Amino acid sequence: MNLLKALGMGLLQGLTEFLPVSSSGHLAIFKCIFHVDTGTGIFFDVLLHVGTLISVFVAFWDDIVMLFKEGIGILVDFGHNLGVFFHNCATKEEKYAYEKVVTSSYRKFVMLVIVATIPTGIMGIAGKDFVEVAGESLLVPGIGLICTSLILFVADRCKGGKKLPSTVTYLEGFITGMVQGIATLPGVSRSGSTIAACLLLGFEKKFAVKYSFIMSVPAILGAAVLELKDVIESPPPAGEIPMYLAGMVVAAIVGFICIKTMMIVVRNNKFTIFSIYCLIAGIVCLVAHFK
């Protein structure tokens, strides 16, 4: 791999991971229309994922630190309650009281991310083979991009609501996770579909964006961890590592800019330009497929 390709892939990763245009759809377009080999090696794929994770952590650092602290608190209280349960069962008396686990807005936020991750993980694993096959032609990406266009069109006309973590239900978090799972299909934008789902469920706009991006952390991290085994088995050439790192840095910088852009897009209802773009891209895919 040369430096130009590494930087280009980092740019593509940063742009399409967070802007509502579908990274998988664009990769399918490049592969099928332009006959470009987008294979970059497992190690580089992991670093690109790390780059996008860095951008999320930088953009929402204060929130993620609080979520981590409260997540530890949840585990401590859960462990305490588990001990109380077994003690009460063994002694057949309720000598110790249970601790309330969800005691703050951030703890509720942690629980909502966990609830959303469950359907995403199940759907991602169950549909892995289908998603890989679907990305080999332009039919599914084309349909997915047109669906994304419609989703963004609706989102642009949705005013959102006032729901924050304390008022969002676990069912709504689960539904959003299902939408994120569906967005593994080529052409369906993860950020666009999850933010639209949040707005339609009445989430406050700023929280809708924050929740959409932070709930992506377990999914992105999980994908990177799953690829680490292949990295260990097939380590990259030492001479290419600096270029891989350069691509990761570009993905992180561009990803951060795109996250900030999405905050503005959602706040000002500016999805229309992305909706038009996805519609055109989807039509191009279908025309190329049936040509």
Q: What whole-number distance in Å separates Cα of residue 168 and Cα of residue 204?
A: 10
100 found inside a domain: no
Q: Quick one: which of 94, 114, 92 has its CA closest to 102?
A: 114
Question: Domain for residue 95, yes or no?
Answer: no
Query: In DSSP terms, which residues pair with 203 in a beta bridge?
Result: 163
Q: How many domains does the chain have?
A: 1
Task: State the pLDDT confidence band at 200, using cuts at 50, 70 and 90.
Answer: very high
Q: Does 96 fall in a domain?
A: no
Rounded distance between C-alpha atoms, residue 230 and residue 112, angstroms: 31
Helical spans, DSSP H, in 127-267: 128-134, 139-156, 170-182, 190-200, 205-214, 216-233, 241-267
pLDDT score for 47: 82
**Is residue 82 a part of any domain in this protein?**
no
Answer whether residue 214 is part of any domain.
yes
pLDDT, mean over the chain = 86
Which pLDDT belongs to residue 31? 63
Question: Does residue 148 form part of some domain?
Answer: yes
Instruction: Tell me the mean pLDDT in the region 175-195.
Output: 92
Range of the structural domain that residue 259 is part of: 3-70+105-290
Residue 65's pLDDT band, with cuts at 50, 70 and 90, is very high
In a domain? residue 184: yes
pLDDT of residue 259: 92
The pTM for the full model equals 0.86
Residue 30 banded pLDDT, cuts 50, 70, 90: low
37 in any annotated domain: yes
Q: In angstroms, rounded to a whole number, what is the distance separating the alpha carbons of residues 122 and 114?
A: 13
Average pLDDT over residues 188-212: 93
Residue that wins the pLDDT comparison between 127 and 198: 198
* 157 phi, psi to nearest 5 deg: -105, 10
Both tokens of residue 71?
């997540």
